Amino acid sequence: MTEASKKAGRAGSPLRSLFGDYVELDGAGGAPQRYKIMAELEVDGRSYAVLQSDAMRKEGDIEVFRVAAGEAGSPQLETVEDDEEWENVAEAYDDLLFGSDERP
C-alpha cells in the first residue's frame, strides 16, 4: 500500500451502519440506482466508499466516492473528479482484494 493510513472493513463503516450492504443513488434521468457497498476505505486521511451496481459488476467496474460529513454529521457521498485521487483509492481497493507486493 502506498500509505499506512489505508484501512478497510466493517468496523467503522458508517455507510453500512446506516444503509446495510446497499445504497440507492440517483442514476441517469434521476431514476434510483442500487449500488452494493463493496468497501469503505481510508486513504491519505480521507474516507472513501467503493460502490458497484449490478450492471457494473457484469463489466468488472467500480465507482469511487469520497465520504464526507453531511448535515447532522451523517455521511454524504461526493463524486471524485480528480483522476489521481480516484486511481489511488482504486489501487487501495485492489490491494485490499488481492494483497500488495509492497512491504513496509
Q: What is the 3-state secondary structure (H, E, C) of the chain?
A: CCCCCCEECCCCCHHHHHHCCEEEEECHHHCEEEEEEEEEEEECCEEEEEEECHHHHHHCCCEEEEEEECHHHCEEEEECCCHHHHHHHHHHHHHHHHCCCCCC
Query: Which residue ranges in the chain fall short of pLDDT 50?
Result: 1-11, 103-104
Asked if residue 10 lies in contact with residue 16, where contact means CB atoms within 8 angstroms, the answer is yes
Asked if residue 35 lies in contact with residue 24, where contact means CB atoms within 8 angstroms, the answer is yes
What confidence tens digit (pLDDT) does each residue in 24-43 have?
998 778 889 999 999 999 99
Query: What residue type is 14 in one-letter code?
Result: P
Query: Does the reported pTM lie above 0.85?
Result: no
pLDDT of residue 11: 42
Cβ neighbours of 17 (radius 10 Å): 11
